[in-house]
Amino acid sequence: MPPRPHILVVNGRKVRQPVFVIGAPHSGTDLLGRALKQSRGFHVTIGQQAVQGVVYAFARSPSIQRGRSTAAATVLRDAFAQAWQVTAHSCLSCSLVCREAGRVAGGGTCVRERDIVRYGDASPDLMYCADGLVAAFPDARLVQIIRDGRDVVAAMLADPQALAWFRPGMANVETEFPNPFLGVETEQDLAIWPDLSPVGKCAMRWRGSVRAMARLRAAMSADQLTTLRYENAVRRPAATAAAVSGFVGEAVGQVQMPARLREGQPDSEPGTWRRLLTAAQLAEIESVAGPDLRRVGYLD
C-alpha cells in the first residue's frame, strides 16, 4: 500500500493545495506573492525566517537533500508549520517585504486566523526547493514566473545581496557541483566560472533557473504548475490575475508595483536593460545565456 499522505494542520486548519511562487532572482516572485497575500482568504509568507533558513541551506548545499527526499520534505513541512502561524511574534520576525505586503504596522498580524482558506509562500530562491515542496505537499500549486534575463541581470547588478553570493568563500562551486543555485551545471561551466565578470555570473544564475523551470514544467502536470511572464504580469495585470485565479481556484488580485519600484528602480519596467547595460555586458550575457534567451522568447 502507498504511504498515507501527511496532513499538516496550522492555525487549526488543514493545509490544502498551498500555493508557492518560484522564479529567478528579480523575476517578480515578490510582486506575485504580494498579490496573493493581499487576496481574500490567503495567508502567504515572503521571506519568513523559518522558511528562508531552510531554503538557503537546501539551495546552497543540494547534496544534503540528495537521496533524502522524505527527510527534506519533513524539514520543509516543519518550516512552513512555523512560518504560517498567525501570531504577533511571527509577524514581527517576518521580512520587511512581507510586512509591507501585509500592511502590518507595529505588533499586528497580516491576516485573521478565521479568514484563512489557503496558505502559500513566495520567499526568495524558493525555486531551488521545488522538488522538496512537491514531496512535502503533493497537492501543492506552483506558479513560476520568468523574466527577460537581461532585465534580471541589470537588477541583480544593482542588488548588493545578490552579488554577495559570488564573493570568494560564498561561491561554493567547487564543494557543491553541480551547483543549481549558481547555475554551474557542467565541467565547462566550472572551468569558465572564475573568469566570468559579475555580469556573466548573474547570467549563469538566470540561465540555470530557467533550465530548472523547464525541467519542472516537463515533469509536472498543468494542474499543478503554471508559468507566467513578468512582462505580462505588469503590463496586463487583470489578465494575469484571471489566469492565476483560474489556476489556484480562488480569486486573486492584480499585481501592483509598490512605490519603491515605481520610483525608477531597476525592477520597475520591462526593457530597462536597454539603458542600464553596455554593449560589452550584453555580449557577455549572450555568450553565457544566448541560447536560453532565444529558447524562452527574449531574443530573435
Q: Are residues 83 and 145 in contact, defined by beta-carbon separation less than 8 angstroms? A: no
Average pLDDT over the chain reads 90
Residue range 202-246, pLDDT digits in tens? 999 999 999 999 999 999 999 999 999 999 999 999 999 999 999
Please state which of the ranges 62-66, 180-184, 258-262 shows the lowest mean pLDDT: 258-262
d(CA 200, CA 222): 33
Output 71 or 4, whichever has higher pLDDT.
71
Q: 149-157 and 279-295 helices cross at what angle (nearest 10)?
A: 140
Residues 6+ apart with CB under 8 A from 31: 230, 233, 234, 255, 256, 257, 261
b/e per residue, 272-281, with b = 16+ CB within 10 A? bbeebbeeeb
Mean pLDDT over 107-136 rounds to: 91
Q: Are residues 197 and 279 in contact, defined by beta-carbon separation less than 8 angstroms? A: no
Residue 157's CB is within 10 A of a number of other CB atoms, namely 19
Q: Are residues 97 and 21 in contact, defined by beta-carbon separation less than 8 angstroms? A: no
Residue range 77-102, pLDDT digits in tens? 999 999 999 887 777 777 888 888 88
9-295 fold: Rossmann fold (3.40.50)
Q: Are residues 228 and 248 in contact, defined by beta-carbon separation less than 8 angstroms? A: no
Domain ranges across the chain? 9-295
DSSP lists the bridge partners of residue 23 as 145
Element at 121 (helix H, strand E): strand 118-121
d(CA 255, CA 277): 26
d(CA 109, CA 90): 8
Model's pTM, two decimal places?
Answer: 0.93
User: The C-alpha cell of 261 is what?
Assistant: 519600484
